């Protein structure tokens, strides 16, 4: 009893008249009670005289005996200084900030400095925070109205898609029927024409046609590949020209830029004789149809040479002539001296039927593809994580936000890509990354608020001498969809700060509210 | 004087002056030539026209062939300077020892090309004498050939040092293709076959070991032996080449070739290393006492792009509780690289940003390069152009135009006195509204760099004020620019604040105007290894506030490498991390553990030692001694240490020995222990003696977080053990004294403190204390006393009044004291058993810790035990 009375006195002496120890979290205050009149260092077996606690001298090897002063600030693993901040929120600061003559923002009660150095601003801060929170809350509420509209819009989109799917299913059935009829007709005519056609398709001409066609296809593919490669190289050079470090110590780079300019100058004027449209037109010709159409000029030839005598005969002789001709042609056909006439005629019907069927078939294909696409779109929008917990991001699928910063315009098209372009240009620009995913941080739970606070866009245009450009988009709650800020902390690694009502959550105290407003001078207007 | 290669009517003059303190100065010039050779370099470099020795103090003995001047230096060295007329030979001899210190023209290489008219030139010998072309860049050479050559022998000195800036070993290897004495720090480095070149150049990705020219030059060469130390200083700012060879094991022969100007040679006779530094400082001056923040940690990058980016970096340091004093902005802060103009799209309110950073005692530095964008709307260019202050083309009329970061640019002519006040005025707060007293200046590209110029610099025939060709002043171009910029900072605002300017280009005397660094190094181990010899070479050439880009400018090196760089850079005088725009971010807070904590602890260690650093700089302003010293300066008689350049000492009395770990995955490192004093491991207090180790080399294991750092026995070091965010926030913090005893159980030390930023210290507002720890022999118990006395009379300063000593640690005491007393009061102390320094045994030193000795730093006191 007596002992504790003495200890109580000591405590009062060393810890001022308050029952709390300056800089100590009340929940840890018990650790600073004396043990047999001594203080037990917190992480160390050492004990020191209780009077040495908070005497502005670091006694404990672990630096735990000076929670109220900076004496142990140079030691490791010391507990931080606890600011009670009554009427506000308690906080902790490094011991290095205790007694340094500065009033810490985190310590509005001024307890980190000697008495009289810092005014207690906790009440004002609490007031400011309340005002700020109220303002934020109003903004958030307005934003949430928009967000609800987004959710509605998302549902609408889904509804539209659903009816679209139904309509397309019906259409598909109809086109399926038409196609079947067309196919039957083709089959019928084909059976008739098949034998004759087979003979023709066995001819070297057809083989040659196929070979030429294969060659053309291969060449066209190669041409496209070469063009792609050329474009890639030109893009690389353009990017080099636009973003090279104008350090003329690298004369090779300067020479490359000049050569590039000269090249672009000369080659922009030249045009392609064989445009890809022309090529693809040639490629689209049906070789079988071509073989069939071979008949027509041949027929002309035979007609003019042998059969078109009729035109010179007087009308009364025409009927005889026609009968004679029929017999003669029959013989000639049988002797394989001229091709069968029936093939020509049937070929025309078949061709027509085939054309018709092709149309029907294409229509069927389109209908089925269109249905598949809509269905996929529906499935994609309807489920999964991408569009938010309530589908609120669906509404922003085709939205873009942009901002002029320094000499550039930056643009983010949600779920599509991030772009940077010179302000004086209307289109084009540098691809800063294509949509990849929401937050991929392992520690963030998929679908959580933190998950929807970050989007990643990657595989953008490669930097000269560097990586592919990529962009991290930080989403904050705001009334409008806006690109607020762009940073390029390292070359080719961008960070966008984007506000959107879709990023607002019903719960209070969302991190975004304070994060960008109280720090330094750079207040954003999104909230 | 006659030159056998010149026509008979051409005359040369030799002027010999003996300066008041006994330094011979030799000047050789053409007499009655077509032009006057450039002879004004000294007026920009020397602190004053030196006083001459009274002729009565010089005993001249002349014969028909020789003149002999006998005199005594202020260091009491009896010298004899002999001029032999035919053939001409100049020798400096120490009369007392008979040692020949310097022997000039022993090899008959003294030569000076005379001015001639082109019409008089023999056509067969025209090649290269007049206009010539280098890499398609023409040089009109309007005055024709005007070079000089001079051989200087050191018959009694086998080791020479200095003539920075080269990425080369400190003890200069010969240039005649023979192998250096010590294995170079670069693997498989071939012997040098080219002379050392002094021509300030912006060299892209320079080699880690080479005699080629770099950004700065100081034509000062030290010669050292166990018998004496001396130096020669050839004051010419034109391009120079210096060949070095060793005719014997104990001598050195050098040849100096310069492109233009007079020969202006100072012989600096020593004989002690301290004498050499004092004598050299009497010519070019001592280091400016840096602001305290300049000795803290500097964080730079090309570039922090926005105000938010900058403030984020500050937050990064604060988040890991690591100190930093200065945040740097490279060229991208400036709109269109028009320096002075902030790009407001990225830095909307520069003053607000600077002051936000300053709220925690930090400073901002932004770059002001000397090239001015030739944009008519750019006020700096416009004013310079209107006033005719720009460097001219060889025609002397139109403005010279070259390319640099800003595109088409012109350069201010710092030889024009009218440019000086104008340049200074640019920094006034009235004129430069977007600046504050917390903003300082970085001057880069001042060699100068001209992207489309010959060797990326200015053509030699470009004209400065008074029709001076660039070739005559090239190497001091950066010095002039730094000088005026420093004045600009000192003359803005209330005119009592010290300046801080970092310059890449430097010359003899640059120490008076700020800091320098070793330019764009690479993030390779070899470049890390080259940083210490380079900074030591600068240090012994008077350039005291010198550092290198911590982390390496180019590349994305490993975390291990960064840790080793911080451990090294923390012991270079100027401590700045910097990185190229293409590198990944590598600020300490971006590192992962354990690297982040190791780097933070290194930064804190630097700050703990700031009182020692500041005292060392103050001391240097008095005696000209470097703040970091190579082995040969601290143990001048120990020949085994002359080639060592990978360990060095820090402090006014070389109190600390540091051996940075600069090999990848190093398991252990060998520390050479000079002298007989005990060396105390800074962290473990383990005592080591040279005699206990083979080749005096102590091998210690090197985990990533261990840094070989020792306190030399006999030292008392002042530290501040409390962690703070920046140096200025430490100004009131108490000191700790650590006393590392020598064999005799004694030690001494010093601490200098002032407000850390103003010129009040020149009006005695400082504390300068001498501490002596000595045995009291009369006491039978072998007691001791620690005394604090005033070293230089100062009146203290506002923040200094109440600074206390919170802790005194005595290492290596023989016995635990019964009591420790000051002014009759008993002091609390703790005692840890351990070995005593006087016992000569190795082991962990005993440790006496006196808690709160109740004394203020400013007071005299005595503590006995």
Residues of B in contact with A489 (CB under 8 A): 305, 309, 585
B297, β-bridge pairs: B575
Both A298 and A199 in one domain: the answer is: yes
B303 prior amide bond cis, ω within 30:
yes
Output the domain CATH number for residue A441. Answer: 2.70.130.10
Domain boundary among A352, A381, A410: A381
DSSP state of B39: -
CA distance linking residue A411 with residue A433, whole number of Å: 11
Nearest partner of B835 among B846, B819, B849, B824, judged by Cα = B846
For residue B391, how many C-alpha atoms fall within 13 Å in the half-sphere facing its CB? Answer: 29
In this structure, is residue A160 part of a structural domain?
A: no
CA distance linking residue B708 with residue B815, whole number of Å: 28
B810, β-bridge pairs: B739, B848
Which residue among B352, B723, B851 places its CB closest to the CB of A73? B723
Chain B's closest residue to A248, CA to CA, is B451
Domain range summary for chain B, segments of one domain joined by +: 11-116+144-271, 292-623, 731-864
Angle at B440 between CA B435 and CA B442, to 5 degrees: 120
Mean pLDDT for B256-270 is 98
In this structure, is residue A103 part of a structural domain?
A: yes
In this structure, is residue A210 part of a structural domain?
A: yes
Beta carbons within 8 Å of B260's beta carbon, 6+ residues apart:
B37, B38, B143, B146, B147, B238, B469, B471, B472
Is-same-fold flag (B11-116+144-271; B292-623)? Answer: no
pLDDT at A98 over 50: yes
Which tokens sit at B34?
A: 């077509």
Both A315 and A446 in one domain: the answer is: no
Which pLDDT score, from 0 to 100, does residue A15 have? 42
CA distance linking residue B377 with residue B388, whole number of Å: 17
Least confident of A65-74, A208-217, B854-863: A208-217
Residues of A in contact with B309 (CB under 8 A): 487, 489
Least confident of A507-516, B345-354, B436-445, B509-518: A507-516
Residues of B in contact with A490 (CB under 8 A): 583-585
Chain B's closest residue to A244, CA to CA, is B582
Which residue among B309, B346, B724 places its CB closest to the CB of A96? B724
Do β-strands A482-490 and A454-458 pair in parallel, antiparallel, or remain unpaired?
unpaired
- Is residue A429 helix, strand or coil? coil
Which tokens sit at A492?
A: 């080719």
Is residue A312 exposed (0-12), middle (13-18) or buried (19+ Cβ within 10 Å)? Answer: exposed
Beta carbons within 8 Å of A72's beta carbon, 6+ residues apart:
A58, A60, A63, A64, A65, A66, A78, A95
CA distance linking residue B520 with residue B580, whole number of Å: 9
pLDDT at B765 over 70: yes
In this structure, is residue A237 part of a structural domain?
A: yes
DSSP state of B141: -
pLDDT at A146 over 90: yes
CA distance linking residue B549 with residue B578, whole number of Å: 5
Q: A252 — contact with chain B (CB < 8 Å)? A: no
CA distance linking residue B197 with residue B175, whole number of Å: 11
Beta carbons within 8 Å of B779's beta carbon, 6+ residues apart:
none
List, for residues A107-141, the tens digit of each pLDDT value.
999 999 999 999 999 999 999 999 998 998 899 99
Nearest partner of B153 among B115, B222, B106, judged by Cα = B106
Sign of the C-alpha dihedral computed for residues A124, A126, A127 and A129 taken in this order: positive
Which pLDDT score, from 0 to 100, does residue A182 have? 86
Mean pLDDT, chain B, rounded, equals 95
Nearest partner of A418 among A364, A449, A456, A387, judged by Cα = A456
Point out the catalytic residue in the list B447, B645, B646, B768: B447
Contact A102/B360, CB-based, under 8 Å? Answer: yes
Which pLDDT score, from 0 to 100, does residue A199 have? 74
Q: Are B366 and B435 in contact (CB under 8 A)?
A: no
Both A360 and A220 in one domain: the answer is: yes
Chain B's closest residue to A523, CA to CA, is B308
Q: Model confidence at A516, in pLDDT bands (50, 70, 90)?
A: very low
Which pLDDT score, from 0 to 100, does residue A463 have? 82
DSSP B773-828: EEE-TTSTT--EEEEEEESS-----GGGTT-EEEEEEEES-SS--S--EETTEE-E
In this structure, is residue A163 part of a structural domain?
A: no
Least confident of A170-174, A179-183, A381-385, B526-530: A381-385
Both A348 and A214 in one domain: the answer is: yes
Which pLDDT score, from 0 to 100, does residue B229 have? 97
Element containing residue A181 per DSSP (H, E): helix A122-201
Q: Are B680 and B715 in contact (CB under 8 A)?
A: no
Q: A485 — contact with chain B (CB < 8 Å)? A: yes
Kindly list the distances between the CA atom of residue A504 and the CA atoms of A150, A153, A445, A527, in Å, as whole numbers in the listed order. 12, 16, 18, 11
Q: Is B444 among the residues known to form the active site?
A: yes
Residues found in chain B: 865
Which tokens sit at A202?
A: 């066995």
Which tokens sit at A495?
A: 């960070």
Domain B731-864: which CATH number of 3.10.129.10, 3.40.50.920, 2.60.40.1180, 3.40.50.10860: 2.60.40.1180
Give the number of A-B residue pairs with CB atoms closer than 8 Å: 93
Which pLDDT score, from 0 to 100, does residue A510 have? 43
Phi, psi of B286 (to 5 degrees): -100, 175
- Is residue B433 helix, strand or coil? coil
CA distance linking residue A410 with residue A286, whole number of Å: 48
Q: Are B511 and B540 in contact (CB under 8 A)?
A: no
Is residue B3 exposed (0-12), middle (13-18) or buried (19+ Cβ within 10 Å)? Answer: middle
Percent with pLDDT over 70 in chain A: 79
Both A346 and A245 in one domain: the answer is: yes
Q: What is the CATH number of domain B292-623?
A: 3.20.20.80
Which pLDDT score, from 0 to 100, does residue A16 have? 44
Sign of the C-alpha dihedral computed for residues A64, A68, A71 and A73 taken in this order: positive
Contact B307/A521, CB-based, under 8 Å? Answer: yes
pLDDT at A246 over 90: no
What count of other Cβ atoms lies within 10 Å of the Cβ of residue A315? 7
Mean pLDDT, chain A, rounded, equals 81
Which tokens sit at B52?
A: 């001459």
Mean pLDDT for B752-768 is 96
Task: Considering only the C-alpha atoms of chain B, give the largest distance between any 2 of them, rounded to a whole number of Å.
Answer: 93
Least confident of A252-261, B104-113, B675-684: A252-261
Which pLDDT score, from 0 to 100, does residue B116 have? 92
Q: Which domain holds residue A207?
A: 169-381
Which pLDDT score, from 0 to 100, does residue A250 have? 62
Which pLDDT score, from 0 to 100, does residue A515 have? 37
Nearest partner of B731 among B318, B293, B437, B287, judged by Cα = B293
Q: Name the CA dihedral angle for B54, B56, B58, B59, rounded to a multiple of 10 degrees.
A: 170
Residues of A in contact with B349 (CB under 8 A): 521
Contact B345/A406, CB-based, under 8 Å? Answer: yes
Q: Is B447 among the residues known to form the active site?
A: yes
* pLDDT, greater one: B773 or A446: B773
From B137's Cα to the closest Cα of chain A, the distance in A is: 14
Residues of B in contact with A403 (CB under 8 A): none
In this structure, is residue A450 part of a structural domain?
A: yes
Both A201 and A341 in one domain: the answer is: yes
Mark which residues 17-36 of B lie under 8 Å from A by CB: none
Contact A489/B585, CB-based, under 8 Å? Answer: yes
What count of other Cβ atoms lies within 10 Å of the Cβ of residue A224? 12
Kindly list the distances between the CA atom of residue B325 and the CA atoms of A295, B320, B575, B727, B791, in Å, as whole numbers in the listed order. 92, 15, 10, 7, 29
Cα B57 to chain center, whole Å? 35
Which residue among B321, B721, B807 places its CB closest to the CB of A94? B321
Q: Model confidence at A157, in pLDDT bands (50, 70, 90)?
A: confident
Domain count, chain A: 3
pLDDT at B185 over 80: yes
Mean pLDDT for A455-472 is 89
| A contact test, residue of B318, B582, B829 with most A CBs within 10 A | B582
List, for residues B450-463, the tens digit of each pLDDT value.
999 999 999 999 99
Q: Are A249 and B456 in contact (CB under 8 A)?
A: yes
Which residue among A57, A250, A407 places its CB closest to the CB of B851? A57
List, for residues B723-751, the tens digit of each pLDDT value.
999 999 999 999 999 999 999 999 999 99
Domain boundary among A120, A135, A154: A120
Q: Model confidence at A14, in pLDDT bands (50, 70, 90)?
A: very low
pLDDT at B763 over 80: yes
CA distance linking residue B723 with residue B321, whole number of Å: 8
Q: HEC profile for B699-744? A: EEECCCCCCCEEEECCEEEEECCCCCCCHHHHCCCCEEEEEECCCC
CATH superfamily placement of domain B11-116+144-271: glycosyl hydrolase (family 31) (2.60.40.1760)
Q: Model confidence at B127, in pLDDT bands (50, 70, 90)?
A: confident
Which tokens sit at A434?
A: 């294509």
Q: Is B321 among the residues known to form the active site?
A: no
Cα B302 to chain center, whole Å? 24
In this structure, is residue A147 part of a structural domain?
A: no
Which pLDDT score, from 0 to 100, does residue B343 have? 95
Which pLDDT score, from 0 to 100, does residue A333 have? 62
Least confident of A299-313, A339-353, B68-82, B733-747: A299-313
Mean pLDDT for B562-589 is 96
Residues found in chain A: 527
In this structure, is residue A420 part of a structural domain?
A: yes
Q: B405 — contact with chain A (CB < 8 Å)? A: yes
List, for residues B211-259, the tens digit of each pLDDT value.
999 999 999 999 999 999 999 999 999 999 999 999 999 999 999 999 9
Which tokens sit at A187?
A: 């089959």
Which tokens sit at B552?
A: 């390496």
CA distance linking residue B442 with residue B517, whole number of Å: 11
| B contact test, residue of A58, A100, A251 with most B CBs within 10 A | A100
Which residue among A74, A100, A490 places its CB closest to the CB of B729? A100
CA distance linking residue A157 with residue A146, whole number of Å: 16
Which pLDDT score, from 0 to 100, does residue B125 have? 64
* pLDDT, greater one: A216 or A393: A393
Mean pLDDT for A438-446 is 89
Which pLDDT score, from 0 to 100, does residue A339 have? 57
Residues of B in contact with A70 (CB under 8 A): 722-724, 733
From B208's Cα to the closest Cα of chain A, the distance in A is: 19
Element containing residue B330 per DSSP (H, E): none
Nearest partner of B197 among B163, B152, B173, judged by Cα = B163
Domain boundary among A120, A144, A159: A120
From A37's Cα to the closest Cα of chain B, the distance in A is: 18
Nearest partner of B231 among B280, B196, B186, B182, judged by Cα = B280
Rg (CA), chain A: 42
Which pLDDT score, from 0 to 100, does residue A527 have? 38
Do β-strands B78-84 and B847-856 pair in parallel, antiparallel, or remain unpaired?
unpaired
Sign of the C-alpha dihedral computed for residues B28, B30, B36 and B38 taken in this order: negative
pLDDT at A307 over 90: no
Residues of A in contact with B721 (CB under 8 A): 58, 74
Which pLDDT score, from 0 to 100, does residue A329 have? 63
Point out the catalytic residue in the list B259, B369, B399, B444: B444
Chain A's closest residue to B830, CA to CA, is A59
Which tokens sit at B371?
A: 């090239």
């Amino acid at each position: 009893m007596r002992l504790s009375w003495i200890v109580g006195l000591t405590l009062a002496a060393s810890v001022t008249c308050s029952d709390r120890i300056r800089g100590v979290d009340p929940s840890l205050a018990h650790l600073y009670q004396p043990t047999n009149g001594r203080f037990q260092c917190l992480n160390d077996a050492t004990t020191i005289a209780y009077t040495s606690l908070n005497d502005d001298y670091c006694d404990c090897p672990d630096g735990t005996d000076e929670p109220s002063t900076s004496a142990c600030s140079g030691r490791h693993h010391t507990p931080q200084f606890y600011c009670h901040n009554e009427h506000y929120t308690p906080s902790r600061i490094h011991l290095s900030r205790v007694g340094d003559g500065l009033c810490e923002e985190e310590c509005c009660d001024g307890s980190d400095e000697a008495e009289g150095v810092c005014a207690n601003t906790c009440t004002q801060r609490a007031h400011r925070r309340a005002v700020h929170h109220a303002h934020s809350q109003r903004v958030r509420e307005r934003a949430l109205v928009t967000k609800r509209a987004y959710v509605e819009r998302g549902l609408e989109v889904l509804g539209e898609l659903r009816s679209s799917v139904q309509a397309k299913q019906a259409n598909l059935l109809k086109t399926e029927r038409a196609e079947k009829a067309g196919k039957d007709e083709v089959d019928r005519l084909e059976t008739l024409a098949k034998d004759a056609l087979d003979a023709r398709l066995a001819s070297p001409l057809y083989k040659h046609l196929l070979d030429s066609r294969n060659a053309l296809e291969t060449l066209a593919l190669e041409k496209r590949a070469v063009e792609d490669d050329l474009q890639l190289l030109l893009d690389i050079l353009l990017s080099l020209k636009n973003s090279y470090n104008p350090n003329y110590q690298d004369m090779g780079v300067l020479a490359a830029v000049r050569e590039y300019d000269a090249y672009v100058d000369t080659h922009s004027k030249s045009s392609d004789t064989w445009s890809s449209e022309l090529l693809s037109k040639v490629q689209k010709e049906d070789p079988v149809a071509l073989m069939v159409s071979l008949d027509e000029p041949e027929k002309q030839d035979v007609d003019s040479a042998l059969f078109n005598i009729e035109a010179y005969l007087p009308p009364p002789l025409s009927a005889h002539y026609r009968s004679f001709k029929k017999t003669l042609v029959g013989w000639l056909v049988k002797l394989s001296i001229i091709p069968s006439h029936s093939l020509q005629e049937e070929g025309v019907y078949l061709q027509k039927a085939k054309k018709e069927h092709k149309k029907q078939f294409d229509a069927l294909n389109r209908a089925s593809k269109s249905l598949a696409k809509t269905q996929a779109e529906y499935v994609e929008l309807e489920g999964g994580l991408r569009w938010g917990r309530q589908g609120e991001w669906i509404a922003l699928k085709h939205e873009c936000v942009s901002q002029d910063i320094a000499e550039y315009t930056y643009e983010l098209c949600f779920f599509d890509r991030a772009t940077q372009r010179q302000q004086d240009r209307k289109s084009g620009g540098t691809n800063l990354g294509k949509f990849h995913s929401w937050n991929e941080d392992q520690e963030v739970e998929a679908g959580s608020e933190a998950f929807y606070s970050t989007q990643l866009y990657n595989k953008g245009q490669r930097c000269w001498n560097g990586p592919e450009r990529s962009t991290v988009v930080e989403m904050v709650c705001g009334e409008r969809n806006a690109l607020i800020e762009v940073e390029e902390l390292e070359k080719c690694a961008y960070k966008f700060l984007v506000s959107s009502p879709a990023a607002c959550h019903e719960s209070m105290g969302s991190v975004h509210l304070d994060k960008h407003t109280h720090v330094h001078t750079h207040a954003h207007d999104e909230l | 004087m006659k030159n056998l290669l010149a026509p008979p009517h051409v005359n040369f003059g030799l002027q010999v002056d003996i300066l008041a303190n006994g330094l011979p100065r030799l000047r050789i010039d053409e007499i009655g030539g077509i032009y006057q050779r450039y002879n004004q370099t000294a007026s920009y470099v020397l602190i004053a026209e030196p006083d001459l020795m009274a002729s009565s103090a010089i005993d001249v003995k002349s014969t028909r062939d020789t003149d002999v001047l006998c005199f005594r230096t202020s260091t009491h060295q009896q010298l004899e300077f002999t001029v032999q007329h035919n053939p001409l030979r100049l020798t400096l001899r120490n009369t007392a020892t008979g040692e020949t210190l310097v022997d000039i023209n022993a090899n008959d290489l003294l030569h000076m090309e005379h001015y001639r008219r082109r019409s008089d030139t023999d056509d067969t010998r025209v090649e290269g004498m007049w206009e010539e072309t280098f890499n398609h860049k023409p040089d009109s050479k309007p005055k024709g050939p005007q070079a000089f050559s001079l051989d200087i022998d050191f018959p009694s000195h086998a080791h020479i040092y200095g003539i920075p800036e080269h990425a080369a070993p400190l003890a200069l290897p010969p240039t005649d293709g023979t192998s250096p004495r010590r294995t170079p720090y670069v693997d498989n480095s071939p012997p040098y076959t080219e002379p050392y070149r002094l021509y300030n150049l912006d060299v892209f990705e320079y080699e880690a070991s080479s005699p080629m020219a770099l950004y700065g030059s100081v034509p000062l060469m030290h010669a050292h032996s166990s018998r004496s130390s001396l130096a020669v200083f050839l004051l010419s700012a034109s391009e120079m080449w210096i060949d070095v060879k060793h005719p014997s094991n104990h001598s050195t022969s050098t040849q100096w070739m310069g492109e233009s100007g007079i020969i202006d040679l100072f012989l600096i006779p020593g004989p002690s290393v301290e004498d050499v530094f004092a004598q050299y400082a009497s010519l070019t001056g001592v280091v400016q006492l840096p602001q305290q923040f300049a000795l803290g940690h500097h964080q730079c990058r090309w570039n922090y792009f926005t105000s938010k980016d900058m403030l984020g970096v500050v937050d990064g340091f604060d988040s890991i509780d690591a100190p930093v004093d200065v945040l740097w902005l490279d060229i991208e802060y400036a709109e269109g690289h028009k320096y002075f103009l902030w790009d407001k799209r990225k830095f909307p309110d520069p003053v607000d940003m600077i002051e936000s950073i300053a709220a925690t005692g930090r400073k901002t530095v932004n770059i002001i390069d000397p090239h001015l964008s030739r944009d008519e709307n750019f006020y700096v260019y416009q004013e310079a152009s209107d006033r005719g202050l720009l460097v001219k083309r060889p025609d002397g009329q139109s403005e010279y135009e070259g390319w640099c970061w800003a595109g088409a640019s012109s350069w201010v002519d710092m030889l024009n006195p009218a440019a000086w006040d104008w340049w200074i005025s640019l920094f006034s707060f009235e004129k430069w509204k977007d600046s504050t007293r917390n903003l300082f200046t970085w001057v880069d590209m001042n060699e100068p760099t001209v992207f489309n110029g010959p060797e990326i610099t200015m053509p030699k025939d470009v004209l400065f004020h008074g029709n001076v060709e660039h070739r005559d002043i090239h190497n001091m171009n950066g010095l002039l620019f730094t000088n005026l910029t420093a004045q600009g900072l000192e003359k803005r605002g209330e005119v009592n604040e010290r300046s801080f300017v970092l310059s890449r280009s430097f010359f003899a005397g640059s120490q008076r105007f700020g800091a320098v660094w070793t330019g764009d190094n690479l993030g390779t181990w070899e470049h890390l290894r080259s940083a210490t010899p380079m900074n030591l070479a600068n240090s012994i050439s008077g350039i005291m506030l010198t550092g290198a880009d911590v982390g390496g400018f180019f590349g994305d090196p490993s975390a291990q490498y960064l840790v080793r760089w911080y451990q090294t850079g923390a012991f270079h005088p100027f401590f700045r991390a910097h990185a190229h725009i293409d590198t990944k971010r590598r600020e300490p807070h971006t590192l992962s553990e354990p690297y982040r904590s190791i780097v933070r602890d290194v930064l804190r260690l630097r700050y703990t030692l700031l009182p020692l650093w500041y005292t060392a700089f103050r001391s240097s302003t008095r005696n000209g001694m470097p703040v970091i010293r190579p082995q040969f300066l601290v143990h001048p008689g120990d020949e085994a240490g002359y080639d060592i350049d990978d360990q060095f000492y820090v402090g006014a009395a070389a109190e600390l020995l540091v051996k940075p770990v600069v090999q990848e995955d190093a398991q252990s490192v060998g520390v050479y222990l000079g002298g007989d004093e005990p060396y105390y491991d800074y962290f473990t207090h383990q005592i080591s003696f040279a005699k206990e180790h083979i080749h005096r080399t102590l091998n210690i294991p090197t985990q990533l977080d261990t840094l070989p750092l020792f306190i030399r026995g006999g030292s008392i070091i002042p530290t501040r053990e409390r962690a703070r965010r920046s140096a200025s926030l430490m100004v009131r913090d108490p000191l700790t004294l650590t006393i590392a005893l020598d064999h005799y159980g004694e030690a001494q030390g010093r601490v200098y403190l002032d407000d850390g930023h103003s010129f009040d210290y020149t009006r005695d507002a400082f504390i300068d204390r001498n501490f002596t720890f000595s045995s009291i022999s009369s006491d039978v118990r072998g007691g001791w006393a620690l005394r604090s006395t005033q070293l230089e009379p100062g009146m203290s300063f506002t923040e200094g009044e109440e600074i206390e000593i919170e802790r005194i640690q005595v290492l290596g005491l023989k016995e635990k004291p019964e009591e420790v007393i000051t002014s009759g009061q008993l002091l609390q102390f703790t005692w840890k058993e351990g070995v005593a320094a006087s016992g000569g045994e190795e082991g962990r030193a005993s440790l006496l810790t006196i808690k709160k000795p109740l004394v203020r730093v400013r007071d005299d006191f005595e503590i006995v035990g």
